Chain A
Amino acid sequence: MRLKRFWVPLIFLLGMYFDAIFFARVNFYGIHPDVLIAAMVSYGVLMGGLPASILGCLLGLYMDVMFGKVIGLTAISYMTAGYAGGLFFQKFYADNTVIPAVTAASGQFLQEHIMAAAMALRGGSFPYLLTLTTHILPCALATGLLCIPLHLLMRYALEQQTRLRGSETHHG
């Protein structure tokens, strides 16, 4: 039971490993899910927007510093994803996996557009419609699908905290 407290940091650490190292090497023509966006949304849905946004901002900044070309872009996406997840905090049953999945897919959609805008501002060009259909939407779909099992795992890991938060809200 005590080991459960390590699950959430482990999920985020694994997310960092998958996003920065594993999926950079193993992907299908650049299409891969973003584990951290899915994790951030799930964390926001279960724990609220504020902690998820702060965590998203810090993790995003770390990812930008270590792997990114421009610092701040990933932080914006993760922070927004956490905030968006928090919009559904205690408004739906924690069992609901559709809402986190759709929010995570939207978060990925936003992140890809932020990156695309940054690239365009730096002078790069790309065919928007082709990129939308062959890269952005498949990535968003992959992130949404990944969010379903990840949310179930996160819910299990945060079972105690969510119960505490729920009782705090009811008593408050």
Chain B
Amino acid sequence: MKNLFRNKPLLILLVAIILLIALALATSGSRTVSAAESAIGAVIGPVQGFAARASDAIISFFQRVFSTTDADKENEQLRAYIAQLEEAQSGVKEMEQENARLKQLLDYVQEDENNAYITARVIAKNQSVWFDVFTINAGRNQGIREDMPVLCADGLVGRVTDVAATYSKVTSVIDTTSNISVMVQRTRDNAMARGVFNTTKDDMLELYYLPEGGDLVPGDVIVTNGLGGVFPKGVTVGTVTEVSRATEEVNVRNATILPAVDFRHLEEVLVMVQTEAEE
């Protein structure tokens, strides 16, 4: 123990770790981001947005190139030429794809006249698999507040957990700490859904607290039920892929849900800034 106190660098490291743990505990919940964090974000945000776009362009270019590699040898040169043409058109295609995605979002917004939305771009994602959190390029200055629901044309994405002046962090519904109140669209049975930690398979949610004797079959669509005050009613969460019942346990797992949203390719989202209830 005496040696520990003599080793000053180690002692400083331990104190720093304790302070950082305290910081982690203090910042683990939903919160409004401090002015210093906002300032950093305001400076770095545009760079991040640019870097994210550049990454998407690079990734889509390689996807196109790799999709042509299984060509016959006879057609190799021709296909290489096509790949070159595709590369030349990649800028146009990128814009076309973006337009298509934004049009989808616009259609969704136009269909839902009762709520107000803000469109935001996903500029970064948490680098670890442990938390499913991503950063969007809209914050307090654009009218974003904590706990606002985040959606896309396919369904529910998550909710805003941290808000800075120019950016926000969104905890997605597939995060293991995320619990949402849902219902089976066909039977109107209420249940809860939460994210499943998964490194080997696709993103999943699990449905639990479904009433005993409830009718549930693979293919059933799960939507939000509006309880809890965060998510509006009727937004698609996903589709039931597997039903397993074990009624003797208290916290039973009733079903596995495949989320409606493709979280791996999420680029733009809608933040619901005003719900029907608030009007």
Name A's B-contacting residues (CB within 8 A): 17, 19-26, 29-31, 34, 49-50, 53, 57, 62-63, 65-73, 75-76, 79-80, 83, 86, 111-112, 115-116, 118-119, 122-126, 130-131, 134-135
Q: B135 near A66 (CB under 8 angstroms)?
A: yes
A134 and B199 contacting across the interface, CB-CB below 8 Å: yes
The answer to whether A122 and B197 touch across the interface, beta carbons within 8 angstroms, is no
* CB contact under 8 A between A115 and B55, given known A71-B23, A122-B28: no
Tell me the complex Cα distance, A83–B28, Å: 25
Whether B21 and A80, one on each chain, are in contact in the complex, defined by CB atoms closer than 8 angstroms, is no
Residues 102-144 of chain B: 1 if any A CB is under 8 Å from the residue's CB, otherwise 0? 0000000000000000000000111111110101000000000
- Whether B127 contacts A34 by the Cβ 8 Å rule is yes
- Interface contact B17-A76, CB-CB below 8 Å: yes
- 9 interchain residue pairs of minimum CB distance: A124-B176, A24-B125, A72-B24, A72-B20, A30-B129, A69-B131, A126-B197, A115-B130, A72-B23
Q: A-contacting residues of B (Cβ < 8 Å)?
A: 9-10, 12-13, 16-17, 20-24, 27-28, 33, 37, 40-41, 44, 48, 51-52, 55-56, 59, 124-131, 133, 135, 161, 169, 171, 175-177, 195, 197, 199-200, 264
Instruction: Check A123/B41 contact, CB under 8 A, given A67-B125, A69-B169.
Output: no
A contact residues around B20 at 8 Å (CB): 57, 72-73, 75-76, 79
CB distance from A79 to the nearest CB of B (A): 6
**B27 contacts A83, C-beta separation under 8 Å:** no
17 contacts across the A-B interface (CB closer than 8 A): A20-B48, A25-B56, A25-B59, A30-B129, A50-B9, A53-B12, A66-B124, A67-B126, A68-B126, A69-B133, A70-B24, A72-B21, A75-B20, A79-B16, A122-B177, A126-B176, A131-B199
Complex interface: chain B residues within 8 A of A79 (CB): 13, 16-17, 20
State the CA gap A23–B55 with chains docked (Å). Answer: 10
Q: Is the interface of A mostly helix, strand, loop or mixed?
A: helix
Of chain B, the residue at the smallest CB distance from A111 is B128
Between A17, A66, A131, the greatest number of chain B beta carbons within 10 A of the residue's beta carbon is seen for A66
Determine whether the beta carbon of A125 is less than 8 Å from that of B41.
Answer: no
Chain A residue nearest in CB terms to B21: A72
- Please, how many angstroms separate the alpha-carbon atoms of A67 and B171 in the complex? 11
Q: Which residues of B contact A19 (CB under 8 A)?
A: 127
Q: B199: which A residues are within 8 A, CB to CB?
A: 29-31, 131, 134-135
| Set A50, A62, A135: member contacting B40, Cβ < 8 A | A62
CB distance from B129 to the nearest CB of A (A): 4
